[in-house]
Amino acid sequence: MKPNILVVDDEPVARQSLSEILRLEGYGVNSVPNGQAAVEYVRTHPVDLMIVDLRMPGMDGLEVVQVVNQVSPETEVILLTAFGTTESAIQALRLRVHDYLLKPAAPSHVINSVRKGLTRREARLKARGGPASVDVEEALEFSLKDGTHVDLSRRLIQKKDQLIHLTPAEGRLLRVLIENPGRVFTHRELVLLVQGYDTSQREAPEILRPLVSRLRHKLESFPSLSESIVSVRGTGYLYEVEK
C-alpha cells in the first residue's frame, strides 16, 4: 500500500514540481493550494506525511501543523520555506515537525526527508502497536558491527562496560547525521536542525564547531561512531556509512 502524501503550497509551480518528484518515487500524492484546504483534506482523508509551505496567505504553515497535530497526530510534517527564522524554527520544533527544509531544496533532499519521516511514523506506530503502512528501514535503537549500541531516543551510547550520555543538543546532532547517511549538511542547516534557529553562513560554523568538538570528544571510545562523523571542508559534515 502506497504511503499517502499531501503537498501544501500556494505557489502552483512548487506544488506541481514537488508532487511530480514524489509520484516518480512511487508515493500516492495529493496537493492543495492553501492551509484551510489542507486542514479540510486531513479531516476527511488519511495522510501519512505532509509537506507544508511555511508562508502562505491566510492560514500559514505553523497554523496548519497545530490543527493537524490535533486531528491527525500520526501524520508526519515537513516544513518547506524560503524564509528560515529563529521564531519559526523554534516553533516548528515545539510542534513536533519532522524536518525543516530551506528552499530551494534539492529533490534528493526532499525525497530523503520524506523517507525518513515515513520511517519515523512507522516506528512510532509499531511502538504503540498500531497499524503499519511502510517498512522500517532504520530504528532509534541499533547496534553497529563492532558491538557499539546506540539508543538515540535515550541519548545513550554503550559498548561492553563503556557508557556515555549525550546532551540534548549532542543527541540531536548525532541523530540528524545518522538518519541521513552520506548526506552533506551545511553548517547552517545543522544549526537550524539542532539548535532550532537560523543564522548566517558566516556565523554558523562558529556556532556548530564547539558542539561537534564536544560530541567527538565524548565518542572517542567509540571509533565506529566518531570516525563516521566526517568534516567536509568549507561546507559542513556528513555521516559516513559503516563499511
Q: How confident is the model at residue 131 (pLDDT cuts 50, 70, 90)?
A: very low
Distance between CA atoms of residues 212 and 223, nearest Å: 15
pLDDT at 139: 47
CATH 3.30.230.10 corresponds to the domain 141-239: no
The pLDDT of residue 141 is above 70? yes
Distance between CA atoms of residues 112 and 11, nearest Å: 22
Q: What number is the average pLDDT over the span 22-32? A: 95
Distance between CA atoms of residues 192 and 76, nearest Å: 19
Per-residue pLDDT tens digits for 96-115: 688 888 887 889 999 999 99
The answer to whether the 4-127 and 141-239 domains have the same CATH topology is no
pTM beyond cutoff 0.85: no
The closest of 181, 168, 192, 191 to 230, measured between CA atoms, is 181
Distance between CA atoms of residues 163 and 160, nearest Å: 8
Q: Kindly list the domain boundaries of the chain, sorted by start residue.
A: 4-127, 141-239
The closest of 188, 196, 195, 192 to 237, measured between CA atoms, is 188
Query: C-alpha grid cell for residue 103?
Result: 528552499
Amino acid, single-letter form, for residue 237: Y
Distance between CA atoms of residues 186 and 167, nearest Å: 21
CB 75 within 8 Å of CB 125: no
What CATH superfamily is the domain 4-127?
Response regulator (3.40.50.2300)
Amino acid, single-letter form, for residue 33: P
